[in-house]
Amino acid sequence: MVNLPLIHCPYLNLPDAADWSTIAVAFNGRPSLPLRQAWLAAPEPDFSPGKVWLGWRDDVLLVYAVLEDRDIYNDEREFNVPSFLRGDVFEIFLRPVGQEAYYEFHISPHNQKLQVRWPSAAAVCAFRQDPGENLAGLEQYKVWQPEIQARTSIERSRWRVFAEIPMPLVGASGRGRAAVRWKVSFSRYDYSRNRTEPVLSSTSPHTKCDFHRQDEWGELTFGNQPMPTASVGRIAGTVSPDQ
């Protein structure tokens, strides 16, 4: 059993979630989770770094990711199609502690999304044994409503993701947050046109390359909402979300 530290999820003052500069400032100075390849002795030569920041407000989990990328692409545009087979994807895994069911959200550079609710780890095992032609077995687990809110930005050598995930959707109310803990993990399929297989990475210390190994996911706790006069400030020595 891997001994995992708790991940603190602070309350964020985010007055304009439609502006990338405002988003970067809100997460500035907050601890980040690096994407890595913990199952390897050293990263692959084609590995590109990425970082994930977390926060919350109004019973919504906020996820901000900055992903370095040499070749940004994914041709899929249709909602709830498994586009991780076709190009770059950022993945979010969430499960309240004490609940068997968990959610898996995929977001591509063009903001195409896949939403899956796994009723249990056993359901994942059953699906893997018989995924069906073109992953047809995944249909029964797809979530069509509500669609999570997300935005993406494609830049010269990186792409960014900002996602807002309602806490009640995942299965835990944000109220009484001091008693709420979630298991969380974030991962990535990084494709390049000069490779036949993507470079995979995760924020979790997986001892083998399997993003569904929940014993190795981090554990998230939610910080209290500050007084109205509190402001988001810079903490020396931390990585800026806009760097």
What average pLDDT does range 135-143 have in this prediction? 97
Cα 215 to Cα 231: distance, rounded to the nearest angstrom: 35
Cα 48 to Cα 68: distance, rounded to the nearest angstrom: 6
- On the question of pLDDT at 233 being above 70, the answer is no
Length of the chain: 243
First to last CA, the chain: 34
Cβ atoms of residues 128 and 145 within 8 Å? no
1.10.3720.10, 1.10.730.10, 2.60.40.420, 2.60.40.1190: which CATH number matches 6-222? Answer: 2.60.40.1190
How confident is the model over 146-198, as pLDDT tens digits? 999 999 999 999 999 999 999 999 986 545 454 578 999 999 999 999 999 99
Cα 82 to Cα 88: distance, rounded to the nearest angstrom: 11
Alpha carbon of residue 215 to chain centroid: 17
How confident is the model over 32-74, as pLDDT tens digits? 999 999 999 999 999 999 999 999 998 899 999 999 999 999 9
Read off φ and ψ for residue 69, nearest 5 degrees: -160, 130
How confident is the model over 214-232, as pLDDT tens digits? 999 999 988 877 655 433 3
Domain positions in the chain: 6-222
Confidence bin at 243 (pLDDT 50/70/90): low
Mean pLDDT of the chain: 89
Name the DSSP letter for residue 146.
S
